[in-house]
Amino acid sequence: MVVGAKITATNRDTRVETITRSNQDGNYIISTLKEGPYDGRAEAPGFKQFVMENLILEHATSGA
């Protein structure tokens, strides 16, 4: 849990970055992302940068 960490989601196709910060509990939400492949990065002073590559975001479908 890191408070105030800079969280960046970069769309691998468009290279558009969406940035947010973690809250007082170390949690974050990026609700505006569209489906597609992303790279994720978390950064905070005093911590090693954490990188996640080629995350695939898909909208959930309900099976009725």
Provide the residue ranges of all domains of the chain, joining segments of one domain with +: 6-57
pLDDT band per the 50, 70, 90 thresholds, residue 63: low
Question: CB under 8 Å to 58, separation ≥6 — which residues?
Answer: 35
pLDDT exceeds 60 at position 37: yes
- Strand residue runs (E) in the chain: 6-11, 17-21, 36-43, 50-57
Which position has the token pair 């978390």? 42
Strands 17-21 and 50-57: unpaired
pLDDT exceeds 60 at position 64: no
State both tokens at 10.
């970069």
Separation between Cα atoms, residue 52 and residue 62, nearest integer Å: 27
